Structures are given as structure tokens and as C-alpha cells.
Structure 1
């Protein structure tokens, strides 16, 4: 099943809650850097222990996300919610909504960035 196109995610009032792609922190940090270079990063959460990062992606992404080493779940988070506290318990903002280039991270762009990040990490001799 293909993921919804970026325009399928609405913005503003009545916006559907986003999905959340969670990856190990090292993998996610590399992907954030890649997405920032391409002006394609949306809001990103980190867990307080520093073990994982979570990328807010358009609603419906969890229905078709199948990238090994990551998980995608539905949340109650809204991409542009101006909340002082992150919408996921036990998390903090790595890239807050007001600092993001996009309302959410486009799933295809995230998938490509995570692939590139994995290759970079492997080339440096680290394991995911």
C-alpha cells in the first residue's frame, strides 16, 4: 500500500494527528543532518534518555511504513501545535515545530535520509 502523498496531510484547524517514525538516536541524528541540508526536516522528538528520535510524519504513514530498524505509530500529536511541552510523554524537542522547515517530514524523504544515514554510519565503522 503506498503512503499518502504530502498534500494529503492537511494543516491548520481540524488537522489530523501525525504519525511518528521512531529510530535509534545515532541513526536519527544523521538523518536530521541530511534532511536539514535539504530543507526537508519537520518536527523531531527525542526521548529523555537519548536512545531514540521520533520524526512527525503525515497521518496514514503508519499504515504502510516498513523500514527495518524503525517503527511508525499513530499519535495524538499535531505537527504545528504550538505546545511548550512535546505531545509525547517523556520526550523533548530536538527540532521544535517553530524551528522545522516543514509541517511534517515527508515519508519518502525520511526513508531516503535514513538509508543514507545508515550507509554513512556503516562507512564510519559503527553498527546500528
Structure 2
């Protein structure tokens, strides 16, 4: 078995992350995603080097200094569990596609919140 790629972690609020996971699943496929124990954030594993150019408001990209992860097994970050496990075939998420999905997710949430405010829900 080939070693898993080195990775970095893009974290976003859960609501936006879950929307993005659905968008990626429907369009291009989604790579490994972590969900924290408190339920507040999702973390998308992305290729090493992503943090250098990541500037999407409302998210953060954390460098892992090139460390890899087990191909299958325990999540690589303490206090998390797999939402999408790495054995699903995509080793890391494509940062460009992730950025697009997160932007679309943010717009979807904003529109839904606007409709709820008008309806008084």
C-alpha cells in the first residue's frame, strides 16, 4: 500500500462545511473530512502547500509541516472523527474545488437565512 499524501487542514464552521461536502459529493467527489467532537467545525484534508495561498474568509488552513497520515485508521487530529474517511478513494480534497464549494455553500446559507428572516421562522 502506498503511503498517504502529506496534508494540511482547512477548517470551516460545520454548517458551511456540511453544505460543501454535499456540493462536492454531487459534483466531483469529496476527499477526507474530519468533524470535531463539539460539532462546531469540519476539517477538509488538502495537499501540503495549500496554506500558503489560502485566504477564504470564515475559514483557516493549518500547515502540518508535511506530516502524512495513515491510509486508513484513526483520524490524524485529536478530538475528531471521520465524516468522510480516506478509504473512499480521494486522498485529499482539491483546494480549488473546495474553495468553490465553500463559496457556494456560504451563498446558499445566506439565501436560506434571508428567506427564514422574511418568513419569520
- Unmatched runs of 5 consecutive residues or more in structure 1: 1-11
Query: Which is higher, the Rg of structure 1 or of structure 2?
Result: 2
TM alignment of 1:12-31, pairs within 5 A: 12-13=2-3, 16-31=5-20
User: Of the candidates 55, 65, 76, which is equivalent to residue 66 of structure 1?
Assistant: 55
Between Structure 1 and Structure 2, the one with more helix by share is 2
Give the ranges of 4+ consecutive aligned residues of structure 1 lying more than 2 Å apart after TM superposition. Answer: 75-78
Matched residue, 2:97: 109
- Unmatched runs of 5 consecutive residues or more in structure 2: 115-121
Q: How many residues align?
A: 112
Q: Deviations over 1:72-91 (max 9, x none)?
A: 0123353x6211x1010000
CA distance in 1, matches of 2:57, 2:28: 25
RMSD: 1.8
TM alignment of 1:1-128, pairs within 5 A: 12-13=2-3, 16-75=5-64, 76-78=67-69, 81-83=71-73, 85-99=74-88, 101-125=89-113
Note closer, same or farther for the CA distance 1:22–1:55 as it changes in structure 2 (3 Å cut).
same
